[in-house]
Amino acid sequence: MKRIESGNVAAALGVKLAKTQVVAAYPITPQTPLTEKLSELIEAGELEAEYITVESEHSALAVCIGAASAGARAFTATSANGLLYMSEQVHWAAGARLPLVMCVVNRGVGAPWTVWNDHQDSISQRDAGWIQIYVNDHQEIIDTVIKAFRLAETVSIPVMVCYDGYYLSHTHMPFDVPDENKVDTFLPAYSYKHTLNPESPENLNTVTMPFARPDRDGVNKPGYMDIRHNLQQELRTSIPVFEEIDTAYKAIFGRGGSPILSAYKCEGADFIVAAMGSLSNRIKDIVDELNLEGLKIGVLSVHLYRPFPQAQIIAALQDAKGVIVIEKALSYGNQGALFGDIKAALYPCIKRPFAHSYIIGLGGREIKKADLYDAIKESCTTSETFEDTSRWIGLNR
């Protein structure tokens, strides 16, 4: 069924189709319409779930942690400083291996205060142990929310579905709403093996020693470092799991096929522009123009950012002459976050492309087509060496 709605409504419909049982959230722009829509669906009886009102984002994620621990499929959403207020619980949810799904409607972080879009909020939490997926349009929002629940529950690792505030959250676009019965086939009911049950008591997430030690039955159990190693290893193995889930989704709904990276005109390209979110789609128009001018250039949209898909990045980029990374976030005191990860992935390659980094659109700064065009064209026609810093587009000088 086709709908023309906002990105926030697309996300809410995905949560509904996933038959989420508990929703807890605190309003924050530009996420608020998503959770408002969920409250309407619950009130109307279209989603059989508990909507729990809380006093803060920290409490919202705490409620979801409790709900998931009790065996309920749980969801929350936030933006910007709301995500930062959750930070303690963000780390806890990952360490507790709870299969939560959270939409992060990307917005710049204060101070100074801003309600406009960039990716700094979710990028700041990239090392918290969550899977992070960035989507480009409304169809990807609804489809990825549904796939995220299956992924989280398969690998027991929480998932953030990140999409651009305003550019996607508030704009209206057409998208297909998956058939409910088919979603039920794709996404079985949530079953948590450590569900809190007085008939089968367990100690979960107690103070853990630095060293491994035997439990009451004499079975050696991992210490803190071992638990962290397990999470790291299983984050890495979640990449092929996500690919398998996407394949299963495509077989039912006919959409998907590029869950990790999606390429546009990258086959045989001399230069490839890498980006995340709706910015990837904007760059396609510029790439089309530059191809008409004789430059062989493509766009690589990075969907799965954590765990970082190093092998897929190498395969996609190593044969190019140059890689141009354009992003709406940075690692303060260093360089663009995505740029640093891509550069590190390419470092072992015998034949590696030059890499340029551009920071753009922070705090909603206007992204002008002419500026993007000039920056990309300049990179394709100048230096072929690695850079250690990022160039900034659109500074008010």
Residue of higher predicted confidence among 222 and 264: 264
Q: What is the pLDDT of residue 221?
A: 80
Q: Give me the pLDDT at residue 207, please.
A: 72
pLDDT-based confidence at residue 389 (cuts at 50, 70, 90): confident
pLDDT value for 385: 66
Checking if the pLDDT of 196 tops 90, the result is no
Q: What is the pLDDT of residue 80?
A: 98
Q: What is the mean pLDDT of residues 160-189?
A: 98
397 pLDDT more than 80:
no
Mean pLDDT value across residues 211-215: 78
Tell me what pLDDT residue 382 has: 82
pLDDT of residue 198: 78
In the prediction, which pLDDT does 159 show?
A: 98
pLDDT in tens, 245-272: 999 999 999 999 999 999 999 999 999 9
pLDDT of amino acid 205 = 76
Q: 12-34 pLDDT, tens per residue?
A: 999 999 999 999 999 999 999 99
pLDDT greater than 70 at residue 277: yes
Q: State the average pLDDT for the chain.
A: 94
Question: What does the pLDDT read at residue 200?
Answer: 74
The pLDDT assigned to 215 comes to 74
Check residue 383 and give its pLDDT.
67
Check pLDDT > 90 for residue 235: yes
SS3 sequence of 53-97:
ECCCHHHHHHHHHHHHHCCCCEEEEECHHHHHHCHHHHHHHHHCC
Share of the chain above pLDDT 90, in %: 88
218 vs 232 pLDDT, higher one: 232
- Over residues 153-160, mean pLDDT: 97
- Indicate whether this model's pTM tops 0.85: yes
Summarize the confidence of residues 169-185 as an average pLDDT: 98
pLDDT (tens digit, 9 = 90+) per residue, 42-97? 999 999 999 999 999 999 999 999 999 999 999 999 999 999 999 999 999 999 99
Domains of the chain: 2-186 (3.40.50.970), 261-392 (3.40.50.920)
| pLDDT above 80: residue 387 | no
pLDDT at 190 over 70: yes
Mean pLDDT for 279-302 is 97
